[in-house]
Amino acid sequence: MTDSLISDYAILYVDDEQMALKYFRRFVDREFTVHTATSVDEALAILDREGASIGVLITDQRMPGQSGVDLLKKVRARWPHIVRMLTTAYADLEDAIEAVNRGEIFRYLTKPWETQTLRTELRQAMEMFTLRQERAALMREKMSVWQRLVQLGRLRDLVIMAHSLGGLTRSDRAVMAFLEAHLAGGDAPLASAEQLDLWEVTEFEIERSIAIVEHVRDAIDEETISPTNPPRPSTGQALVDLARAAGLIVNAEDADRARTWVTDDASVARLCRALANANTGPDALVVTISHDHAGWLLSWRNTPDDDRTRQAALLSVYLLAYHLGGEVSVTGADTERGYSVRLPTERAACVESAPPDGWLSSLLVRLEGWD
């Protein structure tokens, strides 16, 4: 372990005796940056400010109020990366041994200190800390690679699925839009690398992909949806009625306008049901339906959710909206997103069209740059 790496981090020493603090600094401050505190509360305040730069904590056991072991428990819970040590008189060895057995400290030192022993023990503690930091960095890198592999697998599965849905028009455009909006967001983080096995991850992802495909097929039901279904005239009120029948709470604007909206009820009914299934809140989803020169607009807000059923329902919204000649747009942060589905007034907008050249490559570039 290099001296430069060790010197990047500080030691916090806690003791209510001013003389002990003075001697500690004299013994070790030529080699380490040292912070000192005279109580548990003062130590916690320093950790709140400097916790990221402190590698080793050493505390006396007997102090007024809270003891050193009390401090070690709190540090273990809030700053587990810090290597913890206890210094104590011979009369308090039982407390020190118990702290070792509970895993709260790396080592204990008895008072009075022998100068060289103190320096050696602190150096070993700091080396332990830096080794842990290096291992954590390697684990983060390993997890990043695994997460990219997982994302690539999901992207591949969804693109293949889009081409297998023969009853829908513009399905690959729908998947393109869905991936662009959700490629690196909305997924729950993977477990720590120590808890993962590559085979288990692979099995889990296969099961996940199968479940999403099954949910999407159930939501779409290709037997009742076909690009050759004859269009028929309808009104905005029909859209409102279909949305309410799906269990949505509708805030309708200009729903009674007589402007013709050409579509097929089967696709719209399934779109509304998919909207209801994609809802992550405890209550029925409130959808605003309005009309402008471009067509009908369904707008709602939602919180991202990693539940595969809701993810599949949201993907179904994209597939059905694009099948109807519409589009889905997303605004807002990851904590709450705003969605809009724009449906055209002309059936001619539903014609099949391929995504632009290079769309898949652009998604792969984004995935490679995702951190």
pLDDT of residue 276: 80
pLDDT of residue 57: 94
d(CA 286, CA 15): 59
pLDDT of residue 331: 79
CA 226 to chain centre: 37
pLDDT of residue 186: 42
pLDDT of residue 294: 56
d(CA 24, CA 119): 10
pLDDT of residue 334: 58
Q: Give the three-class secondary structure for 293.
A: coil
**Bond into 112 cis (ω within 30):** yes
pLDDT of residue 307: 66
Token output for 157? 């599965």
Question: pTM (2 decimals)?
Answer: 0.56
pLDDT of residue 13: 95
Token output for 238? 């029909």
Token output for 354? 């391929």
Per the DSSP assignment, residues forming a β-bridge with 58 are 13, 85
Contacts of 215 (CB under 8 A, 6+ apart): 308, 309, 312, 313, 316
CA 237 to chain centre: 39
> What domains are there in the chain, each with its CATH number?
3-136 (3.40.50.2300), 165-369 (3.30.565.10)
H or E element in which residue 290 lies: strand 286-292
pLDDT of residue 213: 79
pLDDT of residue 107: 81
CA angle 293, 337, 365 (to 5 degrees): 95
**Strand 327-333 versus strand 336-344 pairing type:** antiparallel
Residue 98 identity (one-letter amino acid): E
List the chain pLDDT tens, one digit each, 371 residues.
444 445 678 999 999 999 999 989 888 878 889 999 999 999 999 999 998 899 999 999 888 888 888 898 899 889 988 999 988 876 566 766 776 666 667 888 888 888 888 889 999 999 999 888 888 788 777 766 776 777 677 777 777 877 777 677 788 888 888 887 776 544 444 444 444 566 666 777 777 778 777 878 777 775 556 555 544 555 667 777 877 887 777 777 655 554 555 566 777 888 888 888 877 665 556 777 776 655 667 776 766 555 667 778 888 888 888 888 888 888 776 567 777 887 776 655 555 666 777 777 776 766 665 54
CB atoms within 10 A of CB 37: 22
